[in-house]
């Protein structure tokens, strides 16, 4: 029985070593094309940052069963937008929605944003093009409503 355990241990170690070598070899092949793609993407992002968004979609995706953190993110986001961007919300320049990804009628929009479960997405529309970005930083700010609000205001203002 001890020998079997040792063989399994060595086999697992060998498997992980081979997997690591394979991953390492493939990442070297793609590094040049990744570098070119990164340059192109950063140039596009710079251009997009200099132009104000025509519209900003702020979407809070969630499941039917929501945890306290998910509910809080939705509440903080809505309160921040209503407090600091009331005019933009009224004019339709900023759009806030909470979207249940479990409902059949929301499958298409969830797929477009690649949302599964609880997540906050900000989509500045520039020159008629979506620039969808999931904002994960908000989850680290959930324990401080003011820091959350300050961060979100800064993010939105940078897009206007």
pLDDT computed for residue 33 by the predictor: 46
Q: Is the pLDDT of residue 17 over 90?
A: no
Phi-psi region of 92 (alpha: psi -120 to 50; beta: other; left: phi over 0): left
More confident residue, 147 or 11: 147
Model confidence at 6, in pLDDT bands (50, 70, 90)? low
Q: Does the pLDDT value for residue 30 go beyond 70?
A: no
Q: Is the domain covering 52-159 a CATH 3.40.30.10 domain? A: yes
Give the integer Cα–Cα distance in Å for 159 and 79. Answer: 19
* pLDDT tens string 61-115: 999 999 999 999 999 999 999 999 999 999 999 999 999 999 999 999 999 999 9
pLDDT at 43: 46
**Average pLDDT value over all residues in the chain:** 83
Residue (of 124, 158, 120, 156) closest to 141 by Cα position = 120
Question: For 51-142, where are the alpha helices, taking DSSP H only?
Answer: 68-84, 86-91, 107-113
Residues paired with residue 120 on neighbouring β-strands, in sequence order: 60
Distance CA 125, CA 150 (A): 22
Residue 20, pLDDT > 80, answer no
What gap in Å lies between CA 50 and CA 125, rounded to an integer?
A: 13
Tell whether the model's pLDDT for residue 38 goes beyond 60: no
Question: Nearest Cα to 132, choosing from 64, 9, 48?
Answer: 48
Whether the pLDDT of residue 47 is over 80: the answer is: no
Q: What is the pLDDT of residue 35?
A: 46
* Percentage of the chain lying above the pLDDT 90 cut: 67
């Amino acid at each position: 029985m001890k020998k079997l355990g040792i063989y399994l241990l060595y086999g697992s170690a060998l498997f992980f070593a081979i997997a690591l070598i394979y991953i390492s070899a493939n990442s070297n092949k793609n590094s040049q094309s990744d570098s070119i793609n990164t340059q192109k993407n950063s140039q596009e992002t710079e251009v997009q940052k200099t132009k104000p968004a025509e519209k900003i979609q702020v979407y809070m995706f969630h499941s039917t069963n929501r945890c306290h953190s998910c509910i809080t993110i939705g509440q903080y986001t809505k309160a921040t937008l209503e407090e600091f961007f009331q005019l933009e919300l009224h004019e339709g320049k900023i759009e806030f929605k909470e979207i249940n990804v479990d409902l059949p009628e929301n499958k298409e929009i969830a797929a477009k944003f690649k949302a599964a479960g609880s997540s906050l997405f900000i989509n500045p529309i520039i020159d008629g093009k979506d620039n969808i970005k999931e904002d994960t930083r908000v989850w680290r700010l959930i324990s401080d409503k003011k820091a959350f609000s300050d961060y979100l205001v800064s993010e939105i203002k940078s897009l206007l």
